[in-house]
């Protein structure tokens, strides 16, 4: 790695120091980078800025954004509605859930590397061999590689093309999450209190991995050098997986404890009166108010100056009814 790439970017307000090598758009597809930059330029034209993130974990960033923009900035949280984090015995045809039911508590490493970008065939072979050699139980979602991986991975694991990820992460047998660190997967893992084994590939996944490992300290990296072309060998994978899933390891115990603390913060945020629930309600209130104002302006613009004021009163009352009739459900805590 060149000396230039070892430099740190430490001047972004609200963001902790980031190695230059971890900047998502460095040396990537320039056309894709340009599209992202164009999208960012539209932010100043927005009426609202909504983030599916929790204030408590990125308070400095939210404070900076709220101070910078004249329009509201809302932390909406993970937005997982009406989900029961307890064990669900109504599995219907989901054979993988029956398989998880038969496994010891916290013994399963759940593996999902997303569907947008896949790792190289050589790296997939190393991962499969490393998992097999580790002797650790695992549950792997691999959409296009299921048949091949079933033959390679051995009898300690289950490979499927798809699963209900939130249901799997909330299962008592799952004790770790090998993740590509897409934002949706990151939020779900945090919400379920599962420690991460990070394997980012590109874009925001790299920074999400940094947050998980360095800022929140709820996991480890599979590989230290980011990028799609850096091969991690089966020997190293087997060693890391064994250590990561060792429930008696003191270092592992520490980040598992922190993962549980993160889960509790998430649950408080989305519960009634929590930061995310309050933010969502504020957004709905603000949006409803704007709808009334825009309706009044539209009517007046059409020259209908003699307006029955009761019309506006009825509209305001109706938007209030909508808000009251559709309350956000309380989050349900994971049962031990």
The one-digit pLDDT tens for each residue of the chain (336 residues) are 555 556 888 888 888 888 777 776 655 567 777 887 888 888 888 889 999 999 999 999 999 999 999 999 999 888 765 555 555 444 444 789 999 999 999 999 999 988 766 788 899 999 999 999 999 999 999 887 777 787 777 778 999 989 999 999 999 999 999 999 999 999 999 999 999 999 998 888 989 999 999 999 999 999 876 655 678 999 999 999 999 999 999 999 999 999 999 999 999 998 899 999 899 999 988 888 777 666 666 656 655 544 455 555 555 565 555 555 544 444 444 444
Q: Going by C-beta distance under 8 Å and a sequence separation of 6 or more, which residues neighbour residue 262?
A: 57, 190, 193, 216, 218
What is the per-residue pLDDT for 330?
A: 46
Packing angle of the helix pair 146-153, 121-134 (nearest 10 deg): 40
Residue burial 8-36, b: 16+ Cβ < 10 Å; e: rest: eeeeeeebeebbebbebeeeeeeeeeeee
* Residue 281: Cβ-neighbour burial (10 angstroms; 0-12, 13-18, 19+): middle
Domain-by-domain residue ranges, the chain?
A: 4-75, 95-263, 275-325
Quote the CATH superfamily of domain 95-263.
Glycogen Phosphorylase B; (3.40.50.2000)
Planar angle of CA 200, 104, 165, nearest 5 degrees: 40
pTM of the prediction? 0.80
């Amino acid at each position: 790695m060149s000396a230039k790439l070892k430099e740190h970017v430490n001047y972004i307000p609200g963001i902790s120091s980031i190695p230059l090598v971890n900047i998502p758009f460095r040396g990537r597809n320039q056309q894709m980078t340009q599209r992202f930059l164009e999208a960012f330029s539209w932010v100043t034209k927005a009426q609202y800025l909504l983030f599916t993130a929790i204030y408590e974990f990125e308070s400095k960033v939210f404070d900076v954004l709220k101070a910078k923009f004249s329009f509201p900035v809302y932390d909406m949280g993970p937005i997982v509605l009406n989900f029961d984090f307890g064990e669900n015995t109504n599995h219907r045809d989901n054979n993988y859930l029956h398989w998880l039911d038969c496994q010891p508590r916290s013994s399963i490493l759940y593996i999902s590397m997303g569907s947008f970008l896949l790792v190289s065939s050589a790296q997939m072979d190393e991962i499969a061999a490393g998992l097999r050699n580790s002797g650790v139980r695992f549950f792997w979602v691999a959409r296009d590689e299921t048949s091949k991986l079933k033959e390679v991975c051995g009898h300690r694991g289950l490979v499927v093309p798809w699963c209900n990820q939130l249901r799997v992460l909330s299962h008592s047998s799952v004790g770790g999450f090998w993740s590509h660190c897409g934002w949706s997967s990151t939020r779900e893992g945090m919400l379920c209190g599962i420690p991460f084994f990070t394997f980012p590939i590109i874009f925001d996944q790299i920074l999400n991995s940094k947050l998980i490992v360095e800022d929140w300290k709820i996991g480890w990296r599979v590989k230290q050098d980011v990028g799609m072309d850096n091969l991690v060998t089966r020997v190293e994978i087997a060693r890391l997986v064994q250590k990561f899933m060792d429930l008696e390891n003191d270092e592992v115990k520490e980040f598992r404890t922190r993962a549980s603390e993160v889960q509790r913060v998430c649950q408080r945020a989305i519960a009634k009166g929590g930061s995310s629930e309050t933010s969502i309600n504020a957004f709905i209130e603000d949006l409803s108010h704007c709808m009334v104002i825009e309706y009044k302006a539209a009517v007046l613009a059409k020259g209908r100056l003699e307006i029955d004021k009761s019309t506006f009163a009825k509209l305001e009352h109706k938007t209030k009814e909508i808000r009251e009739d559709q309350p956000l459900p309380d989050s349900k805590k994971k049962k031990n």
